Amino acid sequence: MKLFASAALAAASVVSVLVPAGPAAGQQTVWSSDLGTGVWGTCWDGKGSWSCTVSAEVAESRSFYAPPRKVGDITVNCTRETVRNQRDVTVRRPGAAELTGGSTPAGVRRPTRFTWSEETTRTLTETIQPNEASWFEVQQARETGTASFTITDDAGRVQIRKAEFDGPGLTLPDRLFQKTGPLNREELAGCRR
């Protein structure tokens, strides 16, 4: 939790209450709109895990938003002034696929699961009224469905597997919300110490 003891941090910028949180310019995304790009991640089987690359051909999918969850720290304004504060908010977007069916060449490990992750950091400006707390919540865009995965291991060996996946959204951006609320009596007493 971050406390402000003076209004010296007040700045002239305005907070965005709803901010798309997709990848920043130049940042690699886990999936592309055509799903034809290679995605690096981890393949798993009963013996452990190894690095692999996957490209997917989606058979069917649906997009949805996951329930909101808090990200980052809570900031408390103990001053008598409105505070505008810039801070970085990092959102991790994990994905997983259960691999079934398909063909695996002889001598090649047959993965049963593929996992990957994308992380995006945004610098946001929050506006906090006197005696209020502020935090950010993310509502992640997700996509679930079935696909045909082409899996390539570090040695360049390829196998094609069917998969049911749940991962970062392909067509919808994440939603970031700034939430604020008044301090309770105990929190206010902590500000006066």
CA–CA separation, 123 and 112 (whole Å): 38
User: What are the residues whose beta carbons fall under 8 Å from the beta carbon of 119, sequence distance 6 or more?
Assistant: 90, 91, 92, 93
pLDDT in tens, 24-66: 333 333 333 334 566 888 999 999 999 998 888 888 999 999 9
User: What are the residues whose beta carbons fall under 8 Å from the beta carbon of 156, sequence distance 6 or more?
Assistant: none
pLDDT in tens, 148-176: 999 998 889 999 999 999 998 878 889 99
pLDDT of residue 99: 94
Identify residue 126 by its one-letter amino acid code: E
Per DSSP, the three-state class of 174 is coil
